[in-house]
Amino acid sequence: MRHPDDPIYMLAADHRWQWEQWCDEHGVDRARIPGAKQLALDGLIAARERSDDARRFAAFLVDAEYAAPEVARARAAGIAVGTPVERAGVVPLAWGRDPFWQDATGDFVKVLVRHRPEWEAGTQARQMAMLQALATWCRAEGKVFLLEVLVVAQAGEREAEFERLARPGMVAGFIRDAYAAGVVPDFWKIEGTPEPGAMRAVDAAVAEALGPRILILGKAAPLETIRTWFETARSVPRAAGFAIGRSVYFGPAGDFFSGRVGREAAVGQIAANYLTVIDAWKGVPHD
């Protein structure tokens, strides 16, 4: 995140409620969750030793709640690192701590907001006011601002059709509403789409403010789905790269916790997965 034209290859490891749920379902003590974040960073560091792309363009997103030591360790390794400021898994938006800046301990700040245009106007206004406060603080503090927006399918909406057609339009509408409110992040972290026209519509909305770029998130999707999203995203000018996490490190970390693989193997698999996602973004052919 050093130059405005550089690609961004972000390993997102800020999952909190997802690991709590996984641990509860698999009989694993939640006290082990910090270990997953350590594995993610170890895998990222190992990948940087093998790849100039990873060394130059890696970024690491991790939470201070379970992984404060990894924030410091990533910075010491020269990796751009950011932290989330939202309370995990809560709708509507709530801060992890109040004031929110207590959790903004990295080089960049990430916030996740969920959205549906038909939600109650007061709820939407409160969320937007919180984003305005965060945007103002980031500008004052010189922090890179990463805004993730998730538009969730409702009961009765078929996910595949919703993903191709309805969701991108709702995302574009939210982006325009944010700009109208003075909320202009450095990066929009959004869900991918296999529909080129839908991706162009989102890109056009992002382009209505000078500067913001797009990162594609992963949603624990399989690699073939991610490749499809990336192919579409690479066709628009404001797509900067990705912020992928569970598809890279969740499986190897879970295998390590369950005793199926050793630590070295888990780290090696995370590094390999991360480098595979970089190749997918670059359009490198695969076997």
Instruction: Report the predicted TM-score, pTM, of the whole model to 2 decimal places.
Output: 0.96
pLDDT value at residue 222: 96
Distance CA 275, CA 281 (A): 10
pLDDT value at residue 287: 62
Preceding omega of 99 cis (within 30 degrees of 0): yes
| Among candidate residues 82, 6, 2, 11, the one with its CA nearest the CA of residue 42 | 11
Torsion angles phi and psi, residue 60, rounded to 5: -130, 125
**What tokens appear for 120 in the block?**
């109650």
pLDDT value at residue 3: 62
Distance CA 202, CA 204 (A): 5
Distance CA 129, CA 135 (A): 10
| Helical spans, DSSP H, in the chain | 17-26, 33-50, 52-57, 64-76, 121-141, 159-161, 167-180, 196-206, 223-233, 251-257, 263-282
Q: What is the pLDDT along the chain (287 residues), one digit of tens a residue?
A: 656 789 999 999 999 999 999 999 999 999 999 999 999 999 999 999 999 999 999 999 999 999 999 999 999 999 999 999 999 999 999 999 999 999 999 999 999 999 998 999 999 999 999 999 999 999 999 999 999 999 987 777 677 777 777 889 999 999 999 999 999 999 999 999 999 999 999 999 999 999 999 999 999 999 999 999 999 999 999 999 999 999 999 999 999 999 999 999 999 999 999 999 999 999 988 76
Q: Which 8-state DSSP code applies to residue 248?
A: I
